[in-house]
Amino acid sequence: MAERGAKSKFQPKPVTEDWLRRSAFHYLERYAASGEGLRRVLRRRAARRVGGVDALPNDLDTMIDGLLERFAELKLIDDRAFAEARLASLRRKGTSRSMAAARLGEKGVGRALVQAVLDEDETTEAAAAATYAKRRRFGPHRRSGRDDRRDKEIASMLRAGFPMRLAIAAIDGEISSNDMDLSEGD
């Protein structure tokens, strides 16, 4: 009988192309991902499987590159489609352009593609600011008795990436999600 509290020895399992493919399919069944995002996930999973980054096989990057190329050919990963869908989701939630660009970058989308997708975005910054204010219950959407919160709400909108003029307009109820973009010219 084993002693209580005794640690079992970790037995690393091999990282094979078949295991990588199954792991990638498993991840993509649940989440959308960019090519670079999937690469990060696979490297992290492989490190956990073998017991650490130091024990990763030398040809891991080659195996992952081959797998990502094949997935791109099969249209299982498409960075542009991922970026467009993610941007649309973020903008519907009221995310500013600068914050949306940062979030896409975090997900592994390249700067050039982020800029291209942002250039095609039809959501105005004013509409995003109004949506953000409504979602956070700022300004005209504020609960009664909370009138002392204006400066904090403006600061929150600035941290969210909106320009000062637009943040003030959203908090003061001067814009709605149907208005034109007031941030142009700033």
The answer to the question of residue 180 being in a domain is no
pLDDT, tens only, 113-158: 999 999 999 999 999 999 999 999 998 888 877 668 889 999 999 9
Radius of gyration (Cα) for the chain, nearest Å?
A: 23
Count of domains observed in the chain: 3
- Which residue do the tokens 């990638």 mark? 24
The whole-angstrom separation of Cα 123 and Cα 143 is 27
Other C-beta atoms within 10 Å of 167: how many?
26
Q: Are residues 58 and 94 in the same domain?
A: no
The answer to the question of residue 156 being in a domain is yes
Q: Are residues 130 and 116 in the same domain?
A: no
Mean pLDDT score, 169-174: 90
Q: Are residues 114 and 91 in the same domain?
A: yes
pLDDT, tens only, 36-84: 999 999 999 999 998 888 888 889 999 999 999 999 999 999 999 999 9
Burial class (CB in 10 A: 0-12, 13-18, 19+), 6: exposed
Q: Are residues 94 and 50 in the same domain?
A: no
The answer to the question of residue 7 being in a domain is no
Boundaries of domain holding 90 = 79-120
pLDDT, tens only, 6-20: 566 768 888 999 999
